[in-house]
Amino acid sequence: MTSRRPCPPAPGPLEPYAQRFDSLFSSLAQRRGFRDYLQGLLLPRDRNKTLTGLAGAEPIAGAQHREVQRLQWFPTESAWDHQQVNDLRLQLLREDPATAPHDRGALVVDDTGDRKDGNATAHVARQYLGAVGKVDNGIVAVTSLWVDERCYWPLHAVPYTPASRLAAGERDPGFRTKPQLAVELVQAARTAKIPFRAVVADCFYGDNPGFTDALVAAKVPFVLALKPRKGTWAPAEAAHTPVEAAGELGWRNPSSPGRWRRVTRRFRDGHTETWWAADATLGGFGPDQRLRLVVATTDPASLPGHSTWYLLTNLPRPTSRRAQPADLADIVRLYGLCNWVEMCQPRCTDKWELAA
């Protein structure tokens, strides 16, 4: 067997990392393309979300540049297994003490979308794109992220295929909703032996009964947001929405807080904030029920929209005999980790180009 031709090294400490993946690439061109791609992602460029930006070429006019074409070949035409690459990446993250996951972290699931012209690329259609906040032509990914107070890193991503791209629409056997894809990502994290305290997600997933039912059936702990005015059946005299339930917690003032309890949130930069949290009762949700409704806010009197959370969780209170109890501070801490997802969302065009 002939020896492998040496590959031009990546700069600095990136080369030892890239060498860990060399066995997954069969040719010198692939190994070089992998290094070029990693370097382009990490360089402080304004356009490292496009191939021209990754290669350091002009936008549009530089699309035919030799370096851009070489980089285009690596993710779109070169034959390598993106799942093997991702599995090794996760293994390295698990083994490194600086990033090793533990059972106090959270598994955040979310989706992200970006504009993309035309409809030649798989999964592209007119749909809601979170990155632009409206319906537009583009591609959407459902993603998972492991996070704690010190670090965060992505686990898996899968493309969402709109019903309009499938022959039988929503009745097509291949159709999966975003919450269904999110459940698959939770299962993938467990298969990869990634420990976490709870699955955390915004109200798009918290308001979806299929998602919550699937997590309950799989005995997966979760802390999920609900919309403030999500309606729930209840007797006429009882609360019918989370915000109404919050209004029944007896707040008068900090000296007479009713059922509210003071919670201190600690941030990575060292500063702290005082929040208030309480177990509320709404329909079948309650402090001693299988599902709890926890309200957290900076001001129980006004419940400001920008700093009030309505959280659904299956983590029991510490007074319960059930496993994995969680007090109010822990619930607030876990959902607070959800903010990291805004720092870690990949652009879908990158993800699918790299995984092609």
pLDDT tens string 226-245: 999 988 888 888 899 999 99
Find the range with the poorest average confidence among 128-132, 251-255, 338-342: 338-342
Helix axes 178-191, 209-217, angle to 10 degrees: 20
DSSP-assigned letter for residue 282: B
Contact (Cβ atoms closer than 8 angstroms) between residue 112 and residue 346:
yes
193-239 pLDDT, tens digit per residue, is 999 999 999 999 999 999 999 999 999 999 999 999 988 888 888 89
Question: For residue 121, what pLDDT is reported?
Answer: 82
What values do phi and psi take at 297, rounded to 5? -160, 160
* Exposure on the CB side of residue 218, measured as CA atoms within 13 A: 19
Local confidence band at 168 (pLDDT 50, 70, 90 cut-offs): very high
Low-confidence winner among 28-32, 56-60, 143-147, 329-333 (lowest mean pLDDT):
56-60
Window from 83-92, 118-127, 335-344 with minimum mean pLDDT: 335-344
- Residue 128's Cβ-count burial label (10 Å; 0-12, 13-18, 19+) is middle
Residues 6+ away with beta carbon under 8 Å from 276: 251, 257, 260, 261, 262, 263, 296, 297, 298, 299, 300
What is the maximal distance between C-alpha atoms in the chain?
Answer: 81
Residue 347, pLDDT score: 46
Separation between Cα atoms, residue 32 and residue 51, nearest integer Å: 15
Strands, E assignment, the chain = 106-115, 125-129, 134-147, 152-160, 198-201, 222-225, 261-266, 272-280, 292-297, 308-313
Cβ-contact 133, 97 below 8 angstroms:
no
> Confidence class of residue 68 from pLDDT cuts 50, 70 and 90?
confident
Tell me what the mean pLDDT of segment 246-257 comes to: 96
> For residue 334, is pLDDT > 90?
yes
Give the pLDDT mean for 67-85.
Answer: 90
| The pLDDT value given to residue 315 | 96
What value does the mean pLDDT take over residues 333-346?
Answer: 77
CB neighbourhood size of 243 (10 A): 20
Average pLDDT over residues 16-29: 95
Alpha helices in 96-208 (DSSP H): 178-191, 203-206
Q: pLDDT at residue 350 above 80?
A: no
Least confident residue range of 162-176, 209-223, 340-354 = 340-354
| pLDDT score of 177 | 96
Q: Which of 138, 177, 135, 140 is nearest to 157 (CA)?
A: 140
Q: What is the mean pLDDT of residues 13-40?
A: 94
356 pLDDT more than 60: no
Q: Would you call 155 helix, strand, or coil by DSSP? A: strand
Banded pLDDT at 44 (limits 50, 70, 90):
confident
Q: Where is pLDDT greater, at 237 or 275?
A: 275
Q: Which of 312, 305, 256 is nearest to 285 (CA)?
A: 312
CB neighbourhood size of 345 (10 A): 20
What is the band of 86 on the pLDDT scale with cuts at 50, 70, 90? very high
Whole-model pTM?
Answer: 0.90
Q: Taking all residues of the chain, what is their mean pLDDT, rounded to a whole number?
A: 90
Q: What confidence tier does 345 reach under pLDDT thresholds 50, 70, 90?
A: low
